[in-house]
């Protein structure tokens, strides 16, 4: 089955994070909206919130709208939840030492990813492949475990030992043989994509 006949959920999880629903080779939905502030909880971005939060912050803090939006972009996300860091390496280490806020940040981030996977499965009437990529997607098995656990209703079955054993050595399949949904870790290479797109634009302009 070629990629043009697949229903994919791409989990690009880094300090900036997004999910994409890709059906028959076309992106049909993504978690980012008018700005990257929409969607997933990120390193410092709040992700989805009630819009009235902006008014609340302005009234509570005496801020203008620009200050409130700056706060939601730069001081929220897992950094704000944990009070530790926007770096998941720091969060995992803190959680292992009993920091409950760091653990909460990891749980909330993972929950939001799982929530969107379910939404995109509904949008596409199922899912064939879930792919993890970018810094957190590739290097944080604790997040992958939390996201994938409980997706058995979609037919997801994964090898958690392999999940924790992975050491960034190329593309790897985490799904078990009986899994109806394929699960992969795919290292990102944004520089190559940017270079190819730039070349295409340059050639088109000629």
Which DSSP category does 178 fall into? T
Residue 204 has pLDDT above 90, yes or no: no
Q: What is the pLDDT of residue 3?
A: 55
Q: What is the pLDDT of residue 206?
A: 64
Other C-beta atoms within 10 Å of 87: how many?
16
Residue 1 has pLDDT above 90, yes or no: no
**Which run of H or E residues covers position 114?**
helix 100-124
Residues 34-56: what's their mean pLDDT?
A: 95
Alpha-carbon span 42 to 117, nearest angstrom: 16
Residue 145 has pLDDT above 90, yes or no: yes
Question: pTM of the entire structure?
Answer: 0.89
Nearest one of 22, 165, 193 to 30, comparing CA atoms? 22
**Which run of H or E residues covers position 65?**
helix 65-74
Beta-bridge partner residues of 131: 10, 184
Residue 196 has pLDDT above 70, yes or no: yes
Domain-wise residue ranges, the chain: 3-42+99-205
CATH topology of domain 3-42+99-205: Nucleotidyltransferase; domain 5 (3.30.420)
- The strands making up 129-133's β-sheet, listed across from edge to edge, are 26-30, 17-23, 7-13, 129-133, 182-185, 172-173
Residues 62-90: what's their mean pLDDT?
A: 96
């Amino acid at each position: 089955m070629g990629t043009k006949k697949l229903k994919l959920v791409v989990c690009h999880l880094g300090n900036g994070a997004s999910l994409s629903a890709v059906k028959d080779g076309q992106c049909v939905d993504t978690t980012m909206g008018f700005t990257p502030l929409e969607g997933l909880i990120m390193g410092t971005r709040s992700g989805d919130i009630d819009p009235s939060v902006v008014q609340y912050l302005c009234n509570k803090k005496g801020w203008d709208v620009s200050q409130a939006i700056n706060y939601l972009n730069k001081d929220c996300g897992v950094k704000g939840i944990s009070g530790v860091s926007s770096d998941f390496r720091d969060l995992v280490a803190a959680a292992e030492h009993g920091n409950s806020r760091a653990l909460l940040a990891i749980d909330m981030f993972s929950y939001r990813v799982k929530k969107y996977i379910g939404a995109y499965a509904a949008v596409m009437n199922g899912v064939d492949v879930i792919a993890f990529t970018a810094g957190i997607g590739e290097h944080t098995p604790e997040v992958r475990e939390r996201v994938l656990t409980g997706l058995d209703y979609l037919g997801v079955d994964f090898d958690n030992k392999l999940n924790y054993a992975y050491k960034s050595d190329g593309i790897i399949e985490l799904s078990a043989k009986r899994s109806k949904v394929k699960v992969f870790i795919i290292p990102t290479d944004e520089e190559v994509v940017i270079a190819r797109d730039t070349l295409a634009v340059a050639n088109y302009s000629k």
